[in-house]
Structure 1
Amino acid sequence: MTESASEQTVPARAWRVVLDKIEGDLLEGRLGPGDRLQPERELAATLGVGRSSVREALRVLEVMGLIRTATGSGPTSGAIVTATPQGGLAQLLRLQVAAQGFPIPDVYETRLLLEEWAVAHLADRPDAALDDARATLAAMEETNLTLEDFLALDSQFHVRLAEASGNVVVSATMAGLRETIESYIRAGAARVPDWAATSTRLRHEHGEILAAIERGDAADARRRVRAHITDYYADAGLPVPTDAPASTDR
């Protein structure tokens, strides 16, 4: 079936109208995981755009990981929401990293911004849900971990703290950066002269960060997570901004 002349002359950016509508419904709770979007024809008629614009918007949302689409009929057909905007942001960041990567100094600064805020916020919340972070820390105590396993758990610990903060943008950003953080710390591990000693220190520092959070000491939690990140970058020879302050916690 060919599209009408009006569909063919729709401005190239008309798909954004569709995207904005669906994202608004997600953010305001009118749509959630498992919900089905309106059929293409209905969306096009409701928003006054061509079906080609609807299809373009759906392709964007599918790439972002917010929906899945399936042809045919029945309960699994059409466009169905598979994630919240939090998941979509994480997916978008992962795609950006895969496409061109981010400079290590920029990742370093972003980690400090996000993680210092997260641990301080957690320290101010007596009801913070820290069970996942504790479980990750316990898993890191296994003596037979490979380097790959250790580094995966290391990054998971930091993501778990961000998730516990309850801020979906912070946790989605950390989740989206997780793979690039792992790749950098893995590359840096090869340059660490004594990995056994360093891994022992990292475990200890994780425990001290968690302990500071649990006793409600936001200032100490911030100081410890900054020193933890900064010292590893220094030991691994990873580049940081030239004006970055050196850790004083060594």
Structure 2
Amino acid sequence: MGSEPRAWESVLAHIEALLVDGTLRPGDHLPAERALAVDLGVARSSVREAIRVLEVMGLVRTQTGSGPTSGAIIVARPVGGMQVLMRLQVAASGFPVEDVVSARLLLESSVAGDLADRASSVDVSDANDLLDAMDDPALTPVEFLALDAQFHLSLANASGNTVISATMAGLRSAIEGYVVAGLAGIADWPSMATRLRAEHRGVLAAIADGDPVAARTRIHDHISGYYRDAAFLPSTSAHPSR
């Protein structure tokens, strides 16, 4: 009694297996609810419950509406429970955008510099995969920014420091919420997306080149530039120490 998994848990296990083995990758959309329900022999309500859990875990982002951009898009692979708990704690508290930006500038500049210092021994393949997914012109701005947030988390994960990874995972909901809210202040999204793609590539190039100063500066300018242009920050912002 009670040992049989609930239907939504079976759906969750199925989707997680597809994520782990690479069948589903960041940037992919989940199959339609109806298709998953038929394939797995469960009710659509069970599929929706599993997707809600995946969204809380930070693995998918959902978008309402119809057409090819609706539904759930994969934004991350499964991660540890510590990251999930940290994210839920931060999301429940809420932080001023200025505090989130300041924390990001300190933390991510340090991470980028450290990765560049250890360029020959770090693995940033997840970050590269996410940038490839972000090159898809069919992505909506919200989908693009969900992948963007995961890109920044992937760099923290590449550091190998579990506390840094958990902290960035905890901030993710706040980060993504503010960057999406900032869309209202961006008049030309296609140009912004092109710029963000180039800046992401520039950060990874500095890391690959083993140039910590360039890595810190580029990620600092990338983060502060978006918030400034989205009308969150003043036009001046201090650079990290060279």
Please indicate the TM-score interval, normalised by the length of the shorter structure.
Answer: 0.5 to 0.7
Residue 146 of structure 1 aligns with which residue? 140
2:88 maps to 1:101:
no
Residue 110 of structure 1 aligns with which residue? 103
Paired with 2:136 and 2:102, the residues of 1 have a C-alpha distance of 31
Paired with 1:170 and 1:245, the residues of 2 have a C-alpha distance of 22
- The answer to whether the Cα contact below 8 Å between 1:104 and 1:239 also exists between their aligned partners in 2 is no
Paired with 2:160 and 2:188, the residues of 1 have a C-alpha distance of 36
TM-score normalised by length of structure 2: 0.63
Q: Deviations over 1:73-114 (max 9, x none)?
A: xxxxxxxxxx99x732x3343233332301111111110111
- Cα-Cα RMSD: 2.4
2:153 maps to 1:159:
yes
Task: Name which of 216, 234, 237 aligns with 2:210.
Answer: 216
In structure 1, stretches of 5+ residues that fail to align are 1-64, 66-82
In structure 2, stretches of 5+ residues that fail to align are 1-56, 58-77
Task: Name which of 60, 69, 87 aligns with 2:81.
Answer: 87
Residue 134 of structure 1 aligns with which residue? 128
Runs of 4+ in structure 1 off by over 4 angstroms are none
Residue 123 of structure 1 aligns with which residue? 116
Give the C-alpha shift of residue 117 in structure 1: 0.9
- The answer to whether the Cα contact below 8 Å between 1:230 and 1:246 also exists between their aligned partners in 2 is no
Paired with 2:91 and 2:127, the residues of 1 have a C-alpha distance of 27
Note closer, same or farther for the CA distance 1:246–1:233 as it changes in structure 2 (3 Å cut): farther
Q: How many residues are treated as equivalent by the alignment?
A: 163
Paired with 2:152 and 2:91, the residues of 1 have a C-alpha distance of 21
Paired with 2:224 and 2:132, the residues of 1 have a C-alpha distance of 23
TM-score normalised by length of structure 1: 0.61
Note closer, same or farther for the CA distance 1:176–1:245 as it changes in structure 2 (3 Å cut): same
Larger radius of gyration: 1
